[in-house]
Amino acid sequence: MLLAIDASNIRVGGGVTHLVELLRVAEPSRHGIEKIFVWACASTLARIEDRPWLEKRSDPALEAHLLKRIIWQRWELNKLIKAMGVNLLFVPGGSIISNFRPAVTMSRNMLPFEWRELKRFGFSTMTLKLALLRWLQVRSFRQADGTIFLTRYAYHAVTAATGPLRGTTSIVPHGIDTRFRLSPRPQRALGEFTPSDPLRVVYVSTIDVFKHQWSVVEAIGRLHAEGLPIRLDLYGPARASVLPRLTEAMKRADPRREFVRYWGEVDYKEIHACYATADLCVFASSCENMPNILIESMAAGLPIACSERGPMPEVLGEAGIYFDPENPASIADAVRTLAAAPELRAEKAAASSAAAAQFSWSRCASETLDFLAAVSRRAAQKSP
């Protein structure tokens, strides 16, 4: 079997991490796959490790604007993979542009499928982009021979929009790099925290309208006003239009910049260090498909105060204390509960660390390639 991967729209973030890690640990021969061809932009290909069975390919069109890339996907890619005798096309970015079949895609982005979240962007180019993406991905999922979902939550939310899918489906969660895995630390009693050595709370995530960092800042401000020695460290890139909202929240809660810090974007290779120095993690997103940051926090052995929305309860289970991400009082209650009880923190940290053990890139690669091979075999059996 020859497999082609159209990664032309995989350029930043979790999509690149997924592709890089999957190909790093994959063992294609175990699944009857002789060779894998990957088309992507130069920056993505540079991050993919060389393998004897892997051929990395690019094209000038993949460094150009979106329209030119779409034209290339629709016509040029189709010709290339047909001429090479490829058996299956895998499109991990979610939107199938080529008419080559059989093809498998992935559901990666929940924003286009949750109107409540989409409306947070108001009348903007982002809203139009997400609406277009919804149309394109609904079309792709309906036409695909197979679709991979990252969580059960995503499967149900997407198929509610698409209706029954004609192709087969599988739920294959992402993995976690081993550098994130830390043993849960001993938990200090509340009285051991001091203004010079406070309870360190970390929130790693893009600053965006559905991540609710301002609610977290207000919640931490309330706890600080109650006399709890606490500090909040925020890490992540910010959308320019949203950053002022966070800045204003920080000014209100901590005008002297004593206990709330925003550190900006951190290189992915260094993110694990953000968790290593924390006592507790907060994750306040209201829209996720597969919350990588949540499972990284779990692997880091941290007690977690977590949003009750989306797939978070599915992923974290009973290992977290949940809150309404748009209600600062609810967030403060969850953090206060963990802060006051070192035994509870230890119990939740151990449970989340154990739950994180199921998420590995080896498992992700094996289940993904197994599914791709099965779809290819099924398509071959149907061919006249």
DSSP string, 120-159: GG-SSHHHHHHHHHHHHHHHHHHH-SEEEESSHHHHHHHH
| Cα(364)–Cα(360) distance, integer angstroms | 6
| pLDDT over threshold 70, residue 53 | yes
Q: Which two tokens stand for residue 207?
A: 């600053």
**Residue 206, helix vs strand vs coil:** coil
What pLDDT, on the 0 to 100 scale, is given for residue 66?
A: 83
Residue type, 140: S
What pLDDT, on the 0 to 100 scale, is given for residue 268?
A: 85
What pLDDT, on the 0 to 100 scale, is given for residue 191?
A: 93
| Cα(64)–Cα(67) distance, integer angstroms | 8
For domain 2-175+360-382, the CATH superfamily is: Glycogen Phosphorylase B; (3.40.50.2000)
**Residues above pLDDT 90, as percent of the chain:** 89
Question: To the nearest whole number, what is the mean pLDDT of the chain?
Answer: 94
What pLDDT, on the 0 to 100 scale, is given for residue 243?
A: 96
Instruction: Kindly report, residue by residue over 212-232, the tens digit of the pLDDT.
Output: 999 999 999 999 999 999 999
Confidence class for position 65, pLDDT limits 50, 70, 90 = confident
User: DSSP character for 282?
Assistant: E
Q: Which two tokens stand for residue 374?
A: 């099965």
Q: Which two tokens stand for residue 152?
A: 């059960």
Residue type, 251: K
| pLDDT over threshold 80, residue 384 | no
Q: Which fold has domain 178-356?
A: Rossmann fold (3.40.50)
Q: Are 114 and 70 in contact (CB under 8 A)?
A: no
Q: Which two tokens stand for residue 191?
A: 């009285």
Instruction: Kindly report, residue by residue over 304-343, the tens digit of the pLDDT.
Output: 999 999 999 999 999 999 999 999 999 999 999 999 999 9
| pLDDT over threshold 80, residue 79 | yes
Mean predicted confidence (pLDDT) in 271-293: 95
Instruction: Kindly report, residue by residue over 335-359, the tens digit of the pLDDT.
Output: 999 999 999 999 999 999 999 999 9
Where along the chain do its domains lie?
Answer: 2-175+360-382, 178-356
**Residues above pLDDT 70, as percent of the chain:** 99
Q: Which two tokens stand for residue 64?
A: 């150009």
